[in-house]
Amino acid sequence: MFQMENPLMRMLTKIGNFILVSFYWLLTCIPVVTIIPACTALFHTVTKVIRQDGEGVTADFFSAFRHALHPGVLLSLITAGGSLLLYTCVDFGYQMMRQNAVGTAYFSVGCILAYAWTATVFYLAPALSRFEGGVLDILRIAFYLPFRNFFSVLLQMILLAVMIFVVDFYPVLLLIVPALYVDLTCSGVEKALQRLVALSGAKEPEKQTDAEPEREQCLEFGGLSALEQAAHMNDSEE
């Protein structure tokens, strides 16, 4: 019963890892400007460690966090600024909607832009966890991915809203919900990333025992930068 290969022990180990990585995520989100690096590390650890062998959670999380820290802070600031701007525009459109048709049109356009921005933000952490490049390159990849996976992103948003609602009633669940959410949604995200990798002609390397080399190879994807991958996206679309 207490052997590690036992299904019960595997489930308990996975739950323990979920709690651990969710705690690390909460801890690294405290400065606020590190939310995107924290989400990147969370996504990387759940998909590449917990869902595979479940070993090295702490080392992999903080290795991924350090690697994503510089571009991730910039992306966090851009996300905050863009979200605030869109919220202001949508709120203004909502107030104007009651007065005339122009206000209704303004509000509708604002809602569409808000959805597009939210979908892009959803893919920032997965894109940053897998691709090398500048901030604009990561933004472009994150903008490209959700529009090839419209319904998947919509389901992710609904699931996130449900989990936020549940956590609002039972705050203690915040110690497991972040990792659980990634675990439930990462299959669709992984498929989107793999399709993009296939379009770019890159290959994901085999996993290595050393956490840091694995992290570097996972991000490089065969040595293609995000700019080169974005160029491949345009070629494939044409």
How many percent of the chain have pLDDT more than 90?
Answer: 36
Count the residues in the chain: 238
Distance CA 235, CA 161 (A): 36
Nearest Cα to 25, choosing from 48, 11, 46? 46
Distance CA 204, CA 40 (A): 18
Assigned domain for 122 exists? yes
Among 32-41, 64-73, 187-196, the range scoring the smallest mean pLDDT is 187-196
**What pLDDT score does 153 carry?**
84
Q: What is the DSSP string of 39-78?
A: HHHHHHHIIIIITTT---HHHHHHHHHHHHHHHHHHHHHH
Confidence band, pLDDT 50/70/90 cuts, at residue 66: very high
Q: What is the DSSP string of 95-106?
A: HHHTT-HHHHHH
Confidence band, pLDDT 50/70/90 cuts, at residue 222: very low
Assigned domain for 1 exists? no
Assigned domain for 57 exists? yes
**CA end-to-end distance (rounded Å), the chain:** 57
Mean pLDDT of 34-43: 95
Nearest Cα to 134, choosing from 221, 68, 226, 230? 226
Residues 6+ apart with CB under 8 A from 169: none
| 0.85 surpassed by pTM | no
**What pLDDT score does 10 carry?**
79
**What pLDDT score does 219 carry?**
41
State which amino acid sits at residue 130.
R
**What pLDDT score does 97 carry?**
78
Q: What is the DSSP string of 112-142?
A: HHHHHHHHHHHTHHHHHHH--S-HHHHHHHH
Assigned domain for 2 exists? no
**What pLDDT score does 149 carry?**
72
Q: For 144-156, what is each residue's pLDDT tens digit?
A: 887 777 778 888 8
Residue 218: give the domain boundaries.
7-237
Confidence band, pLDDT 50/70/90 cuts, at residue 223: very low
The number of distinct structural domains making up the chain is 1
Distance CA 37, CA 31 (A): 11
The backbone region for 206, taken as left when phi is positive above 0, alpha when psi lies in -120 to 50, beta otherwise, is beta
Assigned domain for 27 exists? yes
